[in-house]
Chain A
Amino acid sequence: MCHIILLGMNHKTAPVEIREQLAFACGQKVNPLHILPHLDHVNELFFLSTCNRVEFLFTCGDLHGAMQEVKALLGTYLGTSSTVLKDAYFYIHRDLEAVQHLFRVASSLDSMVVGEPQILGQIKSAYREATEYRTVKVILNRLLHKTFSVAKRVRTETSIGSCAVSISYAAVELARKIFGDLRDKRVLLIGAGEMAELAAEHFLAQGVRNMVVANRTLERAVELARRFKAETIPFEHIHDALKRIDVVLSSTGSPDPILRYQDVKSRMRERRNRPLFFIDIAVPRDVDPKVNSIDNVYVYDIDDLQGIIDLNRQGRKKEAERAEHIIAEETLRFHEWLGTLNVVPTIVALRDKAETIRRNELQKTFSHLPHLSDSDRGAIETLTESIVKKLLHDPIVFLKKKAERETKELFVDYTQQLFNLSDGAEIAASSLNHVNVVERDGGDLLDSLKK
Chain B
Amino acid sequence: MAIVLRSVETGQMAVMNSQLALSFFALVLVTTYLVVQIRLNLRILGSFVSPLAVIFMLTSSLLPSDAIPKSGAFHSWWIFLHVTALFIANALFALAFSAGVMYLLQERQIKRKNFGFLYPRLPSLERLDEINHYCLIIGFPLMTGGLVAGFAYASLIWRSTWSGDPKEILSLVTWFIYAILLHERLAVGWRGRRAAWLAIFGFSAVLVTFLGVNLVLKGHHTVFVR
**Mutual binders A and B:** yes
A304 to B110, CA, bound (A): 11
How many residues on the A side are at the interface (Cβ–Cβ under 8 A)? 23
Q: Is B176 on the interface with A (CB-CB < 8 A)?
A: no
Q: Is A86 on the interface with B (CB-CB < 8 A)?
A: no
Whether A292 and B111, one on each chain, are in contact in the complex, defined by CB atoms closer than 8 angstroms, is yes
**CB-based closest 9 A-B pairs:** A272-B189, A180-B124, A296-B192, A180-B127, A180-B126, A304-B113, A273-B191, A273-B189, A178-B125
- Residues in B with CB closer than 8 Å to A274 are 189, 191
Contact of A176 among B106, B124, B191 (CB under 8 A): B124
Contact of B126 among A178, A271, A307 (CB under 8 A): A178
Known contacts A162-B120, A300-B113, A308-B115; A177 and B193 CB within 8 A of each other: no
Whether B110 and A298, one on each chain, are in contact in the complex, defined by CB atoms closer than 8 angstroms, is yes
Q: Which residues between 159 and 218 of chain B lie within 8 Å of chain A, taking CB atoms?
A: 188-194
Q: Is B74 on the interface with A (CB-CB < 8 A)?
A: no
Known contacts A274-B191, A295-B192, A296-B193; A178 and B124 CB within 8 A of each other: yes
Q: Is A311 on the interface with B (CB-CB < 8 A)?
A: yes
Q: Is B123 on the interface with A (CB-CB < 8 A)?
A: yes
Known contacts A177-B119, A304-B113, A308-B115; A295 and B124 CB within 8 A of each other: no
- Residues in B with CB closer than 8 Å to A273 are 189-192
Distance (whole angstroms) from the CB of A44 to the closest CB of chain B: 41
A325 to B123, CA, bound (A): 30
The interface of chain A, by Cβ under 8 A from chain B, is 159, 162, 174, 176-180, 269, 271-275, 292, 295-296, 298, 300, 304, 307-308, 311
A302 to B30, CA, bound (A): 44
Sample of 16 more A-B contacts, CB < 8 Å, known A295-B194, A304-B113: A176-B124, A177-B110, A178-B110, A178-B124, A180-B123, A180-B125, A271-B189, A272-B188, A275-B125, A275-B126, A275-B192, A296-B192, A298-B110, A300-B113, A307-B113, A308-B113
Whether B111 and A179, one on each chain, are in contact in the complex, defined by CB atoms closer than 8 angstroms, is no
Distance (whole angstroms) from the CB of B187 to the closest CB of chain A: 10
Whether B189 and A179, one on each chain, are in contact in the complex, defined by CB atoms closer than 8 angstroms, is no
Distance (whole angstroms) from the CB of B120 to the closest CB of chain A: 6
A298 to B194, CA, bound (A): 15
A182 to B204, CA, bound (A): 34
Whether A311 and B115, one on each chain, are in contact in the complex, defined by CB atoms closer than 8 angstroms, is yes
A300 to B126, CA, bound (A): 18
* Residue-wise interface mask of B (122-149) relative to A, using a CB-CB cutoff of 8 A (1 in contact, 0 not): 0111110000000000000000000000
- Residues in B with CB closer than 8 Å to A271 are 189
Taking CB as reference atom, which chain A residue is nearest B191?
A273
A180 to B126, CA, bound (A): 6
A296 to B196, CA, bound (A): 12
Interface core residue of A174, A180, A292, A311 (most chain B CB under 10 Å): A180
Interface core residue of B106, B124, B127 (most chain A CB under 10 Å): B124
Q: Which residues between 104 and 120 of chain B lie within 8 Å of chain A, taking CB atoms?
A: 106, 110-111, 113, 115, 119-120
- Residues in A with CB closer than 8 Å to B126 are 178-180, 275
